[in-house]
Amino acid sequence: MAAQASTEDLRDWLAGRLPDDWFTDAPEVLVDRDEITIIGHLDVPVPLEGGEQETASEATEAGRIRRFREDTRRQRMAIADELEARYGRKTAWGAVAGNRREVFTNLAVPTMTRLRQPERRVLDTLIDAGVARTRAEALQWCVRLVGEHEQEWLERLREALSAVESVRAEGPGGESRSQSGPGDAE
């Protein structure tokens, strides 16, 4: 049976499981109902050609991410299998090198929603204007736009939910409660 995926437990598990030389610091871990995404920062060499270049080029950053993706593929897949068995979610991986950020193959999960006419008109306007081809694509565009423009509010909301999760874990049936039942050997 898959364990409840608290981000803290997941980070702790990954700290013990990930090879020490993969990332320059602890990876960013994103968790939702369907997927775990792990994004790590890579060390990027700074090519110095006659002392003129002080930062890595886009090509250097892209090459470092590609090298990481190819060199670690087998190990990442094995860790992803372990994560799925433990937490019941698929795993996506990503890397940051300098200014470049790439997330490798991650899930596109269908989401069903019912919309009233005013909301449908918004989506249809986006289609008519050529912003999107379908209502699904228009809705995806809207969600992306909200995510970009309301990031501070969404972060505050996530922090509040994290606090609720911590309090819930301390209560009856929470993680801090003993797992042994009556008559179980200690």
* Each residue's pLDDT tens digit, 55-74: 668 888 999 999 999 999 99
pLDDT of residue 48: 60
pLDDT of residue 111: 84
**Parts of the chain with a pLDDT under 70:** 1-5, 47-56, 174-186
The terminus-to-terminus CA distance of the chain in angstroms comes to 22
CB 36 within 8 A of CB 11: no
pLDDT of residue 7: 79
pLDDT of residue 155: 87
pTM: 0.70
Report the 10 Å Cβ neighbour count for 18. 18
Q: Helices H, strands E: what count in the chain?
A: 6, 4
pLDDT of residue 185: 43
Report pLDDT digits (tens) over 103-118.
998 888 888 889 999 9
- Count how many Cα atoms sit within 13 Å of the Cα of residue 57 in the half-sphere of its side chain: 8
pLDDT of residue 5: 56
**Which residue, chain included where needed, has tokens 């919309």?**
115
pLDDT of residue 182: 40
